[in-house]
Amino acid sequence: MKRILIFTAGFGEGHNTAARNIQDALETVAPDEAHVEIVDLFESCYGRFNGVIRQAYLTAINRTPLLWKGIYSLFDRTTLVEDGVSALARMRRSLDWLLREVQPDAVLCTYPIYNYLIEEIFRDGRRKNFSHITVVTDSITINSFWHRGPSDVFLVPNEETAVTLRAAGVDEARIAVFGFPVQLDFLEAKEIGLGEELGEVPRVLYIINSGKKKALKIVRLLLHHPRWRATVVVGRDRALFEEILRLAKGSEEKLRVLGWTEKIPELLLTHHALISKAGGATVQEAVAARCPMVVTQVVPGQEEGNFELLRRRGAAFYAEKPRQIMEALEELFAAEGRLWKRVRSALAGISRPDASMQIAQFVLDRAAIENAAPESLPGFARMSRDLLSNGAPEPQETAQVLLCDFHIHSTYSDGRLSVGEIVDFYGQRSFDCICITDHIVDQTRFIGRVCQLTGLVLSPDRVGEYFEVLQREKERAWRKYRMILFAGLEFNKDGYRAKSSAHLLGIDLQSPIDSSLSLPEIIAEIRAQEGLSVASHPHKFQSVWGPNTLYLWENQEQFAPLLDAWEIANRDDLFAPIGLKRLPFIANSDFHKPKHIDSWKTVLFCEKEPKAIKECVRLNRNVALTLYRRHRFGSLLRCPDEELLNA
């Protein structure tokens, strides 16, 4: 069961309407899948005080629209809202408590102030473990109050509003256009809606929301019109209702009077025109029903956008005085409704009667996505943010676990498999990155010259060929196995004693390097080629397969700053001192024949891409060792059949 909270406020008319309609749609789309609650924290936290604020708001917009415009634009231009958030401490505490108690999968805000409170609550570095969705209920000239607050995504009623958000710097990916969430009843538009002809007797719907005197005047004019029929929705004003009822007595055919009604969608769908003010929900409902509208009042600021939405489509008629309202209707219906038809088809372009259902489906999908993500530890979230702000590289979104072996010998030196066989051998075992590092000796040294005679090291005249073969195999390894193959060399600088002997790996070399150069010179060459220099088996072997090579370790003050990493493990040996010294490490098989595959390997967590792999080793972050084993018990690592291994 998904838990969904919708936060709203009773200011203006659109917020509650949107909240209610989305709730209805969610319960229709997924009756057994979602539990939806609507919460008005202004109501529950401020109680009577809230009533005062609301009354002040309603008084302001009805009596002194210009004053309201001033307040509205003040909100828009200053950071008054953000500063004021601290004063809303009580609401914040309630919201915090609610989020902890309910553990919602999705939070929808149809009133923007909740976004600021949520930002405050999660200032402690916790990650939001719900999908955070803002439903913008105004259009076009929307207050920046809407988009200055944080939200995963903004659902907007139309393309023009999306344009406004984009212009304000909101990322495209965080905006979705579904239409205003109107009541589900509009889905019946096809069944009960009007046809495309005006007919003999146009029907006019008047939703009263102006002063009493003006309302009575309009009703009288409608009543006495020779042709039209009208329906008047009075609302909750009982006295006005009685009075209009008396006026209409005897003419019930011509004028139907309704008090408060839930049937607005049906009325809009069955009338040819609407007289009302440009409230957010009213305009959107008229659009959904494709009902042309004569607007009698536009509250400066927030309602201007609603009116603009109609005006841009030539569907806006503005008339304040009762006489002008009638004239506008006459014009609309003239010549068998030529203008009326044009407006109807213009409204078809923005009519979204199924918006609530679309939004409900979107919310359910988003709730599922967020649910899958575990909540990270509070400390970790803050830590990683600090790391990022200190300029550390951002973790790659495409990072993956990579199995690597950077120390392999082929038949070019003393290995048993050819380069091609190595690629197939490792590729079939699903390695992600390997480096072939045949021995190359320093012929200025006596031992080097002796080794050269054995034919068990890469001879200088074959180095060029070696690089060419590797280049070819690189392409095949990627094509066939999605495995990265690096060309490398192991520089053998052997002396008579362990302490004067060193083996150095050059990983991802682009061209041969003169092996008679000094170690620091070779390291500089490797760096110039953007390769990695790694000390191979730098400490004492426990196994007795080769003479120790301790020169780099003995001279670590000089070499630690120059080298990119040290082998902390080589085949079966672990070199604990490398760890004790906190040196950057990798682990390799020093592969010479198939059975050497059972050995220490490096596991990286980074993007599968040469630069990223080398950077991961250099930074020595997200690097691990693993002891690779054939699948005697079903290996964790990917291992096909193993005949070759017993060779």
Amino acid at the residue 215: A
Q: In sequence order, what are the residues at sequence separation of 6 or more whose Cβ sits closer than 8 angstroms to the Cβ of residue 441?
A: 447, 448, 449, 451, 452, 457, 492, 494, 515
Residue 522 CB, nearest distance to Zn ion (Å)? 14
> Closer CB to Zn ion, residue 40 or residue 490?
490
The single residue listed with the structure tokens 């072939």 is: 436
> Which residues in the 15-54 window bind Zn ion by CB under 5 A?
none
**Cβ atoms within 10 A of the Cβ of 150, count?**
13
Helix (H) or strand (E) holding 569: strand 565-570
* 209 to 157, 223, 315: CA distances (angstroms): 23, 18, 21
> Which residues in the 494-523 window bind Zn ion by CB under 5 A?
503
Q: Which of 138, 432, 590, 607 binds Zn ion (CB under 5 A)?
A: 590
Residue 589 CB, nearest distance to Zn ion (Å)? 9
534-563 mask for Zn ion (x: CB under 5 A)?
--x---------------------------
Secondary structure of residue 629 in the 3-state scheme: coil
> Closer CB to Zn ion, residue 139 or residue 588?
588
**Taking contact as CB under 5 A, which single stretch among the options 69-77, 139-147, 474-482, 585-593 is the one that binds Zn ion?**
585-593
| DSSP annotation of 195 | -
Beta-ladder partners of 248: none
Residue nearest to Zn ion (CB): 503
**Taking contact as CB under 5 A, which single stretch among the options 118-126, 478-486, 489-497, 593-601 is the one that binds Zn ion?**
489-497
User: Is residue 232 within 8 Å of 255, Cβ to Cβ?
Assistant: yes
User: Is residue 473 within 8 Å of 421, Cβ to Cβ?
Assistant: no
> Closer CB to Zn ion, residue 272 or residue 409?
409
HEC sequence for 559-594: HCCCCCEEEEEECCEECHHHHHCCCCEEEECCECCH
> Closer CB to Zn ion, residue 297 or residue 588?
588
> Closer CB to Zn ion, residue 291 or residue 451?
451
Residue 436 CB, nearest distance to Zn ion (Å)? 11
Write out the DSSP string of 77-88: HSSHHHHHHGGG
**Taking contact as CB under 5 A, which single stretch among the options 220-228, 246-254, 471-479, 484-492 is the one that binds Zn ion?**
484-492
Residue 469 CB, nearest distance to Zn ion (Å)? 19
Burial of 430 per CB tally in 10 Å (0-12, 13-18, 19+)? middle
Residue 555 CB, nearest distance to Zn ion (Å)? 17
User: Is residue 232 within 8 Å of 258, Cβ to Cβ?
Assistant: yes
> Closer CB to Zn ion, residue 249 or residue 540?
540
**Taking contact as CB under 5 A, which single stretch among the options 314-322, 342-350, 470-478, 590-598 is the one that binds Zn ion?**
590-598
**Size of interface with Zn ion, in residues (CB under 5 A):** 4
> Closer CB to Zn ion, residue 62 or residue 418?
418
> Which residues in the 340-369 window bind Zn ion by CB under 5 A?
none
Beta-ladder partners of 535: 504, 566
> Closer CB to Zn ion, residue 129 or residue 443?
443
> Closer CB to Zn ion, residue 115 or residue 549?
549
**Taking contact as CB under 5 A, which single stretch among the options 357-365, 426-434, 470-478, 483-491 is the one that binds Zn ion?**
483-491
**Rounded Cα distance, 530 and 533, in Å:** 10
Rg (C-alpha) for the chain, rounded Å, is 38
Residue 591 CB, nearest distance to Zn ion (Å)? 8
**Rounded Cα distance, 631 and 447, in Å:** 40
Q: Which residues bind Zn ion (CB under 5 A)?
A: 490, 503, 536, 590
